Amino acid sequence: MGPLPKRGRSAYLTRIMARSDLHSGPHTPNPQSEGPQSSDRFNEDKASYTLRGSDQPDIDRGVAAIREVVATLKPKPGVYRMLDARGDVLYVGKARVLKNRVANYTQVDRLPIRLKRMVSQTRSMTIITTNSEAEALLLEAQLIKRYRPPYNVLLRDDKSFPFILLRADHAFPRLQKHRGARRAKGNYYGPFASAGSVNTTINALQKLFLLRSCNDGYMSRRDRPCLLYQIKRCSAPCVDRISEEGYAELVRQAKDFLGGKSGAVQKEIEAEMSAAAEALDYERAAMLRDRLRAATFIQGSQAVNAEGVGNADVFAMASKGGQIGIQAFFIRGGQNWGHRAFFPSHTDGMAEEEVMLSFLAQFYEEVPPPRLILLDRELAEAELLAEALLASAGGKIEISVPQRGDRRRLMEQAQRNAVEALDRRLAESGTKARTWREMAEFLELGEAPQRVEVYDNSHVQGAHAVGAMIVAGPEGFMTGQYRKWNIRTAQTNDDFAMMREVLQRRFARAQDDDPDRDGGMWPDLVLLDGGKGQMSAARETLEAMGIEDVTLIGIAKGPHHGRDGREVFHFPDGREKMLPEASPVLFHLQRLRDEVHRFAIGAHRAKRSRAITASPLDEVPGIGPARKRALLLHFGTAGKVRAASLEDLQRAPGVSAAVAQAVYDFYHQGS
């Protein structure tokens, strides 16, 4: 396989899908249904993989669907997707020889219970051929991230990693934190494990190299140095306190330092400090001394036995209690740029080696790999992974298990951290599970809920009203399923009507999309921010829709309006209950309520901000930002534009006769 392009790998793999041979079994799904799906719509409990005798007809139907696809396959590498009756993706897999790999699923007696369960749900397949198995591995990781199938290993934490960006599109490059696509021109350093580690490093780098952190617009408006110059964290290029050549030298040193040449940079600064002291320039010598202290701080905070390692990612795995934890260290230039623990889901019954390979393929879908990857175990497909990541790393990748020296000591440290992180995770999970059980008991539920939805509204005297829903489960908040609604029909300042509208729209969608209630869209518990009035409005709304089996609970401020941290819980039958002040269940329910508050208020503020910056000219068709600006500069206000005659509009600079006619006609329709 030739090397994949370094940029736009996602788009490149999309082109693979477009040009590849597609084969589907019976009941080919509607393409519109093949959007992202959430893993929580399936039961992740081990019990979901138990097989009953009554499942045999389903297994036979699944095997028949797979055999029909096998008959069309060729001995080529590629990726396959197992689809259920609804067209949702159950599993994504890759194969060096598709025909042989897919045919294995028809030999049911040889499959583990987990895969038997998957086959019993399979009703069709989609096949994508590729040029090589390495290409298939990359495509598999992309599709797993896109569809989040319930039978694949999944990364629970899919947040992007932060980087440090030293921009190269300005005479005085800016040092900044960066997340997301790397489109800006410049040098990227990372990944860092957390935003906190990036912020700490940037603060120290500002003291060390005095590079600006302000944006270009702010810099261009300065006529005197800002506070950062006064506290010796910027060299003030905005007001020419440093020349372009001097600033370029600081940029060079920063690149060397971040690129692993920290020792050489420190020696340069030490030499400059000695020269300044000998020349009796004590002010400059003191400034250089402070820069050296910043360099020492960075190296001290990043020490982790990484000497001689250079650029590397280190991964160690721990397994206990049916859960798997993977500890990652990010080493760049011999410095530790942070570490993070991952706890992949859907790992029941899977070999640890298979979990590690799937984890790495998904991890490097977003993060550029270094030239060295250190693991705590051998992978049979390590060469395949290295080939797949070849282009992203810009050269050959070494994947190895260290046996001695600094690398081995670093690996042992990662292994200890993996065990400790998993122990903490299990302890927290036990506490969470107990809290959820106690919550279910207090709210009189039959069992601990798997999906809790919390609702709230936010507005200012009815203006810019929004409704909000957050979703939580035993694993925490499901942020990808948060929803917000612009209030359309409710009367101004009527909270009860707003709640009715939100619930009606939410559950009407659930009835349309998941009428059988087997798709994970229906909640086990609905919490409302409010008391008897909100409860009554919600109950009447659901009853009118024929929904009577969704548990509703209202959370209202206590007798002292919440100043004592007490809340009153309202039940549908009119009863009220309270919890002790120090109850973990009370803290948990308050956290759910506070989260929906935060989300609702954020949505309301965003809507209000858009309204503040909106202009009546936005409604005029064919008027872009430049012409709108020209009209406002000429007339002063949108009201004066509305009142202007056609001749006055035509005299505005930058406004053609056709545009003036369009504006005039818009404001004088029917006159």
- CATH number of the domain to which 634 belongs: 1.10.150.20
Cα distances (angstroms) measured from residue 100 to each of 25, 115, 355: 17, 16, 22
User: Same domain for 585 and 652?
Assistant: no
User: Same domain for 504 and 583?
Assistant: yes
Task: For residue 156, tell me if it sits in a domain.
Answer: no
* Parent domain of 477: 452-611
pLDDT per position as a tens digit, 231-246: 888 989 999 899 989 8
E strands, 483-621, where?
Answer: 483-486, 525-529, 552-557, 567-570, 576-577
User: Same domain for 296 and 316?
Assistant: no
| Residue 453 clears pLDDT 90, i.e. is over it | yes
Task: For residue 227, tell me if it sits in a domain.
Answer: yes
Is the alpha carbon torsion for 645, 646, 651, 656 positive or negative?
Answer: positive
User: Same domain for 17 and 93?
Assistant: yes
Joined together, the tokens standing for residue 68 give 């029909």
Last residue of a domain, one of 95, 112, 147: 147
User: Same domain for 624 and 602?
Assistant: no
- How far, rounded to the nearest angstrom, does the alpha carbon of residue 8 sit from its chain's CA centroid? 19
Last residue of a domain, one of 272, 301, 330: 301
User: Same domain for 597 and 624?
Assistant: no
The reported pLDDT for the residue numbered 629 is: 78
User: Same domain for 597 and 490?
Assistant: yes
User: Same domain for 296 and 321?
Assistant: no
> CATH no. for residue 383?
3.30.420.340
User: Same domain for 29 and 137?
Assistant: yes
- Residues sharing a CB contact under 8 Å with residue 467, sequence separation 6 or more, in sequence order: 455, 456, 457, 484, 485, 487, 498, 499, 501, 502, 600
Task: For residue 437, tell me if it sits in a domain.
Answer: no
The reported pLDDT for the residue numbered 18 is: 53
| Residue 517 clears pLDDT 70, i.e. is over it | yes
Q: What is the mean pLDDT of residues 18-26?
A: 49
Task: For residue 152, tell me if it sits in a domain.
Answer: no
Task: For residue 67, tell me if it sits in a domain.
Answer: yes
> CATH no. for residue 48?
3.40.1440.10
User: Same domain for 467 and 573?
Assistant: yes
Last residue of a domain, one of 595, 611, 627: 611
Is the alpha carbon torsion for 189, 194, 199, 200 positive or negative?
Answer: negative
| Residue 2 clears pLDDT 50, i.e. is over it | no
Q: Are 185 and 176 in contact (CB under 8 A)?
A: no
Task: For residue 603, tell me if it sits in a domain.
Answer: yes
Nearest partner of 332 among 261, 387, 402, judged by Cα? 261
Calpha distance 167→474 (Å, rounded): 42
Task: For residue 441, tell me if it sits in a domain.
Answer: no
User: Same domain for 418 and 567?
Assistant: no
Task: For residue 27, tell me if it sits in a domain.
Answer: yes
pLDDT per position as a tens digit, 344-392: 988 887 889 999 999 999 998 878 888 899 999 999 999 999 998 887 7
More confident call, 566 vs 479: 479
The verdict on pTM exceeding 0.95 is no
Q: How many domains does the chain have?
A: 5
pLDDT per position as a tens digit, 381-424: 999 999 988 877 777 889 999 988 888 888 998 999 999 989 88
User: Same domain for 264 and 364?
Assistant: no
